[in-house]
Amino acid sequence: MSCSITLKNISEKNAGKLLFENISLNAGHKDKIAIIGNNGVGKTTLLEIMAGLRQPSSGEVEIFHNKILNLNDFANYRKDIGYLFQNSNDQFIAPSVFDDVSFSLLAGGMEPNLAYEKTRELLKELGIYHLKDKIVFHLSGGEKKLVALAGVLVNKPKILLLDEPTTALDFAVQSRVSDLLLSLDMTQIIVSHDKEFINKVANKMFYLEQNGLKQIG
């Protein structure tokens, strides 16, 4: 199976203190992997390393079998990696829903009419087209999460990294998010405390400890 992302003996320190070490993982196309663990063990930090937002203290990251030696090497894969922040407010760039979701397409040089059409299609697919003119910071928590997810998916990434995607969502929105993730044909790595959600979405589960990442399901 071709691997989309590979970690080899990743270690990380926080303020000089060891956070975790000896983290290895092979995530292939169509894998939906959940990472769980105690608070403060570094789950978000590990996702940030995979997303190219943080340089690990030691170890290797490979994207599509290509070694990533430093954060600059991630530049070739930015469009291939979608990262959903735990706090949706951290995701937003533009004030309105429509402008925020279309922003990355326009910034990437896509012709405006095509970018706007792709944005309309995705918002309709996610059932949030009616929010297109709303100010993102005036939305409910569930609406923000769906808009943030739209901003990630509009680029059609090959790898999706999700940090607590169901936090503060009601049951109906949780169901919409889980159904959407199940329908997506891409590598997904999910950090979550929501056991019911993980059991529904993930086909592999790993437990993060200071001394390694252990498969438990």
3-state secondary structure 48-86: HHHHCCCCCCEEEEEECCEEECCHHHHHHHHHHEEEECC
Instruction: Compute how many other C-beta atoms are within 10 angstroms of the C-beta atom of residue 108.
Output: 11
> Is residue 29 classed as helix, strand or coil in its secondary structure?
coil
CATH of the domain at 101: 3.40.50.300
CA proximity to 50, closest of 66, 63, 65, 38: 63
| 141: phi then psi, degrees, rounded to nearest 5 | -60, -45
Range of the domain at 164: 3-215
Q: pLDDT tens digit string along 138-180? A: 999 999 999 999 999 999 999 999 999 998 788 888 998 999 9
Cβ-proximal residues to 1 (8 Å cutoff; 6+ apart), any chain = 28, 29
Tokens of 194: 């929501």
Q: pLDDT tens digits for 81-139? A: 999 999 999 999 999 999 999 999 999 999 999 999 999 999 999 999 999 999 999 99
pLDDT per position as a tens digit, 28-61: 988 999 999 999 999 999 999 999 999 999 999 9
DSSP code at position 131:
G
Total of domains in the chain: 1
